[in-house]
Amino acid sequence: MQSAVPHQIPRALMNPLEERIGYKFRNSLLLAEALTHSSISLERKNYSFDNQRLEFLGDSVLQLVVTEHLYKMFPDFSEGTLTKLRTRVVSRSGLKNHADGIGLGAYLMMGRGEDSSGGRVRASTLSDAFEALIGAMYLDGGYAVVRDFIVREAAADFAEMVLKPEEINPKGRLQELLQSIAPKAPVYEILSQTGPEHQKTFQCRVLWEEIELARGVGRSKKQSEVAAATLALDNELWTSYRPSSANAV
């Protein structure tokens, strides 16, 4: 998706990221702060800031914009349904997809160790940086500017919600993602069950390639498995998976 670049700003005055997001920062230091990973201060003592405060601000702005947009889009939906729909946009995996869409990883400033260990493609790093960028845009241009940016970037998500407002099957989604990396399917193990017979609580964990991806709790075995799969999708621990020589192609 191509963002609309404001006509009044010549492209020559915009750096590639500004051109991609369709916004020219008046205060370039805010953009620099949003793109600065905390790891860089460990190697370069002259860096006095990172993007963690902007991430904190951007998270709240993002939540508000998406909540407001969904509230207007689906006037008949309950709070619970709206919350589930919002998660599709603001989850770590959702934000990583949006960060990838604007090529955000290439613009991040980070320490050499973080860079060499895959920081530019790590889900947590990219999702935090995307929120920091939102925080910087909010401070620099105001709510209307950042609202338009978020709604534009999430347009495909909102369109899919109109077609498929029901909750996505997290177990099926997790299996699809994992088997695109290695043939082995995830395994769900019930760790415990507590409470009286009519009101039991189950705890489950999901394993894949000897990695515990997440644990979930529910009123039934199925609910606990769905909860574990949902958390696993958000944690994305498989990004550190390295196939053994026996499994390597």
Catalytically annotated residues: 59, 131
How many other C-beta atoms are found inside a 10 Å radius of the C-beta of residue 94?
20
Distance, in Å, from the CA atom of 86 to the CA atom of 69, rounded to the nearest integer, reads: 10
Closest to 137 measured CA to CA, from 50, 35, 7, 1: 35
**Inter-residue contact 245 to 185 (CB < 8 Å):** no
> Phi, psi (5° rounding) for residue 191?
-90, -35
Residue 52, classed as helix, strand or coil, is helix
> Phi, psi (5° rounding) for residue 212?
-80, 115
Burial status of residue 243 (CB atoms within 10 A of its CB: 0-12, 13-18, 19 or more): exposed
